[in-house]
A and B are shown apart, each in its own frame.
Chain A
């Protein structure tokens, strides 16, 4: 069944076809959310939200882009909004560390455990500028071709390449500082 027929069937109320759409795109949505959030539970929550949004707004999908590009955009927007909401909690955490509730001694300790190293990488990824992070996640986690990343982000292919290189360099710099 082609994409157009699938969309038409869903718009006509076919729930089995919507379930089929979920099964087709679920891995992509989950991986993208995982790349942006780095947490399985959060990524699953986002995946569910994305498909509910897709179901609600499929009628407004104008088919100028492909369905997968549109679903990636919904995933990115939903994940970024989720992160913004979470930011408030992070601000509180930073405040508590400023007040000395978190031991500074521990922060300056050399990262020894595997978990700490991974957390440091995740943190460094989260701290990348938004566009760099998106280009990096779509290229590295989803392994999408530059052309599709450019379509999703609505920028040129050259810009995507530059963003990925800058993201990689910034990640290295941030991690070197942490691990020094």
Chain B
């Protein structure tokens, strides 16, 4: 009988001790951080789709711009020749022409 009471007391004592155990006061902060992390991961999960779309759109735009600019350049191009003249040689013309007159 005594042992039975002892066992009951021991059980109740353990229950009381475990009931009095307090959880981490920052647990709610930890949970909120985990919730936010989860939401962030959801955003990341959506991102690869948008990434592909954006890259495809970027390449298309770059190609279109490249072709357009290329076409513009061709239509406005001219075959301008460059004439190089030697100033020193030009002076000599006068000299030779004077000699001829003499």
Spell out A's residues near B (CB within 8 Å). Answer: 15, 18-19, 22-23, 26-27, 30-31, 34-35, 38, 40, 43-44, 47-48, 51-52, 55-56, 117-118, 121-122, 140-141, 168, 171-172, 175-176, 179
Contacts and interface: CB of A to CB of B under 8 A. Distances in A.
Contact of A48 (B3, B10, B17, B30): B30
Interface string B26-59: 0110111011101000000000000000000000
Main secondary structure of the interface of B (DSSP, over half): helix
Contact of B7 (A44, A118, A175): A175
B34 A117 contact: no
Contacts, number: 74
Given A15-B32, A15-B35, A47-B27, A34 B18 contact: yes
Contacts of A117: 10
Main secondary structure of the interface of A (DSSP, over half): helix
A23 B30 CA distance: 12
Contacts of A27: 23
B22 to A, nearest CB: 8
Given A23-B28, A52-B35, A117-B10, A30 B3 contact: no
Given A47-B23, A52-B38, A176-B4, 16 more contacts: A15-B35, A19-B32, A23-B28, A26-B23, A26-B27, A27-B23, A34-B18, A34-B21, A47-B31, A56-B38, A118-B14, A118-B17, A121-B14, A122-B14, A175-B7, A179-B7
A154 B86 CA distance: 109
A168 B12 CA distance: 11
B5 to A, nearest CB: 10
Nearest to A55: B35
Nearest to B17: A118
Contacts of B67: none
A18 B32 contact: yes
A169 to B, nearest CB: 10
6 contacts: A15-B35, A22-B32, A26-B28, A47-B23, A52-B35, A175-B11
Contact of A176 (B7, B18, B35): B7
Nearest to B38: A52
